[in-house]
Amino acid sequence: MAVVDLAEAAPGILVLTMQDRVNKNAFTDEMTLALLDAFETIAAEEQAKVVVLTGFDSYFSTGGDQSALLRLHEGEGNFATTSLYSLALDCRIPVISAMQGHGIGGGFVIGLFADMVFLSRESVYTTNFMKYGFTPGMGATYMVPLKMGTALGHEMLMTARNYRGEELKQRGVPFAVLPRDQVLPEAVKAARQLAEKPRVSLITLKDHLVAEQRRRLPEFIQAEVAMHQKTFHQDEVKEKILSLFGR
């Protein structure tokens, strides 16, 4: 089974499902290439008006896999080699992230790049970069405070602790937080509302609404890569990746 599935749920509505059950939707090389290819396909779909990005069962995405983190520790490339993190932002049509399952590290951040976000009460959401001793990447230092609020966003980035969706709801996050089985249906319902509008109008409005994000993001990516040069190559980071990954 392919690690992603792209299907038309209704006229103008595409649902992109990450479904790598073996790796819990981690950003393996296969998943990364599949997502890049899927968004290229979406860009060529001239009738598409909205994309719903979701996962399977209790997982949305678990972010970078252990082997990728170890390669970064060894200085083999950086997370900005591809535009994986900003696929939703760069997409011309609106993207809705239906994070019905756990969103971990970059897996949570990639969902926050969407134009609309739905979370589940039961799932865990975390920006766990500092758990392993390296500073956040994937645009997290910009997108997390922007979408979650400055105080909560900074707390999430610095403590790297886990938050259930219900706790985030109580903390006042500006997203719908629903029982897990309602997340995708409600996201599709929102997609239907968008699909009623002309495609040109949706694209034009999105371009206006996210113009500042698209303009500012590169400076944050550059700063995050520079911070990784200082923090990723510590022996302690490798030890934490080997001992704590997946816990």
Q: Are 76 and 57 in contact (CB under 8 A)?
A: no
Residue 238 burial (C-beta neighbours within 10 Å; 0-12, 13-18, 19+): middle
Residue of 73, 102, 208, 228 marked active site: 228
Answer yes or no: 233 catalytic.
no
Q: Which of 9, 26, 96 is nearest to 64 (CA)?
A: 26
Helices 211-231, 199-209: crossing angle, 10 deg rounding: 50
Dihedral (CA of 80, 83, 85, 89) sign: positive
Residue 21 φ/ψ, nearest 5 degrees: -70, -30
Sequence-separated (6 or more) residues with CB below 8 Å from residue 31: 3, 4, 18, 20, 23, 25
DSSP state of 47: T
At 14, which helix (H) or strand (E)? strand 13-18
Neighbour tally for 144: CB within 10 Å: 23
Residue 125 to residue 28: CA distance in whole angstroms: 19
In terms of residues, how long is the chain? Answer: 247
What amino acid positions are annotated as catalytic residues? 228
